[in-house]
A and B are shown apart, each in its own frame.
Chain A
Amino acid sequence: MAADPSVTVRMYKEGLGDCFLLTFHGGPKPVHMLIDCGVIVGTKDASAAMTNVVTDLKAATGGHLDVVVATHEHWDHISGFMQAKAVFDTIAIDQVWLAWTEEPGNTRAQELKDEFGLQLKAVRQAMTKWGPGLQPRLRAAVEEVLTFAGDGLAAGGPTTADALTYLKKTRHEATQRYLTPGQTPFAVPGVEGIRVFVLGPPSADEYVRRLLPRKHSEDAYEMRLTATRAFAAALPPAGGPAEDEEARRLAFPFDEYYMIPKDQALTRGDDDFFRRYYGPAPGASGPDLGWRRIDEDWLTVAGQLALDLDNKTNNTCLVLAFEIIATGEVLLFPGDAQIGNWESWKTVTFTVPDGSGHTRTVTSKDLLARTVFYKVGHHGSHNATHRAEGLELMTSPDLVSMIPVNHEMAKVKRWNMPFPPLLKRLTEKCRSRVIRQDDPAGAAAAAAAAALPTSEAKRFKDAVNDQSLFVECRFPM
């Protein structure tokens, strides 16, 4: 017998990472959608934890996922597809939804991937040359940022690219769909009464162009020297492939006529200027000027590049809003979208049938005003929830949010998650209906009971199912 139509949002408690199972009840059989499945590098017994989660997933879905969504290429969102691959192999998948930035054959998408790849390579190379003695705290912080890209895993192990390949190619029996913001809202397969709006990642030309090196014209792609490339060109070890050497030369700021190679300068017989001010050649003896040398300081820009890359990748997040047609209520899943992504939503409009044969326009502002569920971006960090154009526009008094954060883990990594002022504002907006992954069972219901009138508190309590492996909340359709 069909249950009352509702959608359950289940947040798994695997650790600092996203793993959400949406189940749509009310049809002949429940429809299951998995949005992301991963946990951050450094989680204890990560593989075991993910296998555990995916096994439960399999049981809960009867071994059949109608849709798998991967919002972006960060390890804490897709590691599960590798760590629990054995279990995933036994789960049937009908559709895979990804952002347009993942689409094979899309030139823009490929250019972005190439550019990001170059930047990541530069950061990694810089890290190999960045010794432990220089700004060790910054160095450690940069290494932590790189764990989003899967760095810190055992060598030779699966990468984020492998995880995406699993979804895009290995599971070729599934239908891959690459979504663009503004495309006509569509239904979740097999579910009546839900409309899916795609809000991001931004695909507008000016936005994408800002991320890429300048071009002279559309057809002739000329590789231009950008600041990142100039930096990257200095990194590969000497004596490597010809194009690396070519790039290195191109990036020199002066004619080679002016350049005096470092070793040559420090061993000049007739002129000790460099030795006196920069110290002796390695191996020779002389006054200790180490404290003033800058051999590695230039590498620390890798820190900024790492942040920048993290930001750009987060901004390629697939952002989905699920509208419950009957009530108009919206469930918002922005992945880890950062400010730039959020700001692009206001340029996106949708045309939907309004039930009387005509159409109407829907804007992101509409959707935000009707949001009753918000999956908090980026584990509650500051930059992933836009205030003025995001959180403040969520005006529904029934707003519930879930934060896939593990504060203990974030502290180990010295990350500011969840960001206290954001948490405070969320609590105010949701009137205490904030469900954290790392909260003890029943914490959210208790907080709500204290803050809300009895009937609302009871409604919330009844809608929440808090277990040790997951917590879920039900929304009537």
Chain B
Amino acid sequence: MMAPSQSAPPWDARTRKSPGPRPAFRRLRGYAFDPSLSMQVETALVNEVVFKVAWEPIATRRAVPDPTKGEAPDAMGPPVATRLERGPVGEYVEVVDFDPASGCFYEPVDLDNPDILAQDGLAPSEGNPQFHQQMTYAVAMTTIRNFERALGRPALWAPRRWRKGQPPAMDDGFVPRLRIYPHALRDANAYYSPSKKALLFGYFPAAPREDGDLLPGGTVFTCLSHDIVAHETTHALLDGLHRRFIEPTHADALAFHEAFADIVALFQHFSFPDVLRHQIAKTRGDLSSENLLGQLAQQFGQAIGNYGALRTYIGRKPDPGQYQTEAEPHARGAILVAAIFEAFLSIYRTRVADLFRIASRGTGVMEAGALHPDLVNRLAAEASKSAQHVLNMCIRALDYCPPVDITFGDYLRAIITADSDLVPDDDMRYRIAIIEAFRRRGIYPRDVRTLSVDSLRWPLIREQVGEATSTQGAILEEDIAGIANTLRDILRKTADYSPTRAQLFANLHSARQEMHEAIQKEVTRGPFEKVTGLVLNSSSAPGDITRGRDGRPAFEVHSVQPAQRIGPDGDSLNQAVVSITQKRLVRLDLEAPNGEDATFAFRGGCTLIFDLDTLNLRYCIRKPIASAERLDAQRRYRLEGDTTSLRATYFAGVGLDEEEEYEEPFALLHRDTEETRGR
């Protein structure tokens, strides 16, 4: 409290000049789960949390170039705003509250309004659309921040594809903000639209079981469910990192997207300390028993007539046969999530074993009744840490995935490799826990001899090159050195101290072009093709490969990402990830008579992981474009498809396109009811 004699500079609301430091966080109230838990005495206290969202403006925003007007994607305009706009519209997301079914907009909330700032945001309210805007903003921003922290770099949304130049070629335009429509649909659904770079949330009257917890006929807003908002935001984040993962090349493709989105939403539960302590106390530390942490979308699940949450990962007995037979994306994805969750439980149990030993005085039998609050706190801390670790492992693995055609087996290998690189000493046996959980569910990568950590890691290039003759090895080293040098130079140029995301996008965009030129020019020889599975020489190329203007097989440098991480021991990993893809336009149905020219885009490519300190190529994770086996499998999948729903009978042709656009892959997916899902 300042003494009246001191004169402080007046606080100017317009220019926001104030003597103090900028706040680190904006506190916003919201639901840890969804409104339904506020109606039950037991959970009402912990259901409402305060999200600590990064204070905006995060960086000075500049006018976004409009590629359709011919503005170069990396052009920088003047700064446009210095505060969090109404909406809210910030650095990463823009909430535009349009309700087409009701034909109206809702007033955008101004989170900088002093009345709102002073009270940690608007009070949770189902009846006030502005709170819905606040909630979606808070949860989306929280999810984004967690993702960025794990990945170690800023998150970028998937670019907008547009045609430019003569003759027109596809190019990428920067999308600064993910759009969020909290009341977009009148439907029990919510989805991420890759073409609109937007999250669409639905609302609907509940039709629950009469003995359930919901008011029959009350409106359920999916935008008020933490789990659903986190899940959809993650689809967008994953799309930003791996644009091609939405292509239905394999039963695992969309299932992976669903699984990953669930994993992030699930583990985010463990970042609410009150919830964590409450549930740990309730389960007496046994998180494998019935609790809210391992379930998703309570209200939604009940509202569509389930007995509980939409998806639950508690008490699911692993069934190795299920992975062989289950084709429906949610159910299939749930197998992956269950594996990860089981690994987490195993890790948690390892970490808290000593606490239970102490608390039970070595007998292993805990006293009846409630746990001591200190013990609850310690268990909660361990649970939180375990969850954070597992989530980080899952997110970091994304850099170690192939650019196309991801399978669960690939992802397992990616997790193990990413973690091995960062944490050489796995004294808590995290990697073993993960392998075991996958094994129990029958998820095996192809082409591995054993399910050991060593076998599951992606093979080091050094190991592969060592097998080749010395001339080939030398050629390969030369080619790689050339590329690595170019890469280092490029990344030096982009290593601005704190570039804006727009600038980062522009830099990476030109980095991709430079890498493309470098590879085009420098690499034409066999060993590089062999290691990467790319086909760069015309002579050995399959006939249907897409070619560039010069007649040579075309390839796209799909992404260039610097990836710097700090391990738990303080060691830093200084890597760069480059992914390259190619395309063939192949016939869909070989048995169809000529003239039936249904084709589809078959893609291949590789992810190259360079060590920037030594300029070595560490790994190459490849999906060879010339692989007949992979082509055959994809063909069969597209013909027989996701065979379990009515949708597959009637809408078989929808969503598949050899061009770049897919018609809302997530919208239909989320809509299958039990009836139409079939058996």
Contacts and interface: CB of A to CB of B under 8 A. Distances in A.
Nearest to A234: B101
Given A277-B89, A297-B184, A303-B668, A258 B651 contact: no
B664 A300 contact: yes
A277 B94 contact: yes
B27 interface: no
Nearest to A129: B100
A278 B89 CA distance: 13
A147 to B, nearest CB: 11
A288 B105 CA distance: 19
Contacts of B184: 294, 297-298
Nearest to B675: A311
A415 B652 contact: yes
A157 interface: no
B160 A291 contact: yes
A231 B186 contact: yes
A116 to B, nearest CB: 13
A144 B66 CA distance: 39
B653 A414 contact: yes
A234 B657 CA distance: 32
B127 A254 contact: yes
Interface in B56-72: 66, 68
B18 to A, nearest CB: 26
A273 B204 CA distance: 27
A291 B159 CA distance: 13
A225 B652 contact: no
A307 B676 contact: yes
Interface SS majority for chain A: helix
Nearest to A388: B679
Interface in B126-164: 127-129, 160
B104 to A, nearest CB: 4
Interface size class of B (residues with CB under 8 A): 35 or more
Given A277-B87, A303-B651, A340-B675, A292 B179 contact: yes
A152 B86 CA distance: 47
A310 B189 CA distance: 20
Given A253-B219, A339-B679, A138 B651 contact: yes
Interface stretch (B252-260, B506-514, B639-647): B639-647
Contacts of A339: 678-679
Given A301-B187, A301-B671, A416 B207 contact: no
A419 B204 contact: no
Contact of A141 (B160, B645, B653): B653
B68 A416 contact: no
A274 B649 CA distance: 41
B675 A312 contact: yes
Given A138-B654, A307-B676, A310-B646, A298 B205 contact: no
A381 B196 CA distance: 34
B196 A301 contact: no
B76 interface: no
Nearest to B98: A278
A62 interface: no
Contacts of A225: 205, 217
A80 to B, nearest CB: 23
A297 B185 contact: yes
Interface in A79-128: none
B61 to A, nearest CB: 14
A259 B101 contact: no
B102 A253 contact: yes
Contact of B649 (A226, A262, A303, A382): A382
A135 interface: yes
Interface in A136-195: 137-138, 141, 144-145
Contacts of B207: 213-214, 226-227
A474 interface: no
Interface string A263-290: 0010000000110011000000001100
8 contacts: A138-B651, A258-B106, A294-B196, A298-B186, A298-B187, A307-B647, A382-B678, A420-B640
Interface of B: 66, 68, 86-87, 89, 94, 96, 98-108, 127-129, 160, 179, 181, 183-189, 193, 195-198, 200, 202-205, 207, 210, 216-217, 219, 221, 305, 639-641, 643-655, 657, 663-664, 667-668, 671-673, 675-676, 678-679
In the A-B complex, the 4 residue pairs with the smallest Cβ-Cβ separation, listed nearest first, are: A414-B653, A259-B104, A234-B101, A227-B204
Given A278-B105, A297-B200, A386-B679, 16 more contacts: A138-B655, A258-B106, A258-B129, A259-B106, A273-B108, A294-B100, A297-B100, A297-B664, A297-B667, A298-B185, A300-B667, A301-B187, A307-B676, A311-B646, A382-B644, A383-B678
